[in-house]
Amino acid sequence: MNKRTVGARYEELAAQYLSKQGLTILERNFRSRIGEIDLIARDPDNACVFIEVKYRRDAKSGQPFEAVDYKKRKTICKVADYYRLTHGGLPGCSFRFDVISILGDEITWYQNAFPYMY
């Protein structure tokens, strides 16, 4: 399998996991010229959640969440700004940035994984 196929498989697994936790998936692979956000969801408290999904077969290359570095977080925030701009600003909704880390078969959900960065 190529990286795109593997990524799509684990993003689907993450979406199913989040749906079971009560989130409603709004978008998958939202793209702009700046970059991409894997999943965008709404939680039961009406927060808009921007989610990065990272997968590693094993820990030889480090933990999956460690791949969400400063540059990636900054890109996610810029794409989130674009999403909010193109979707009416999402009035009355708070927002946060989460990471779904998948190591082998183990899923870990980091809520509020990082703060908004301008």
pLDDT, tens digit, 9 for 90 and up, residues 58-104: 888 889 999 999 999 999 999 999 999 998 877 778 999 999 999 99
d(CA 39, CA 29): 6
pTM of the entire predicted model: 0.93
Q: Which of 31-42 are b and which e, b meaning 16 or more Cβ less than 10 Å from the residue's Cβ?
A: ebeebebbbbbb
What is 3-110's CATH number? 3.40.1350.10
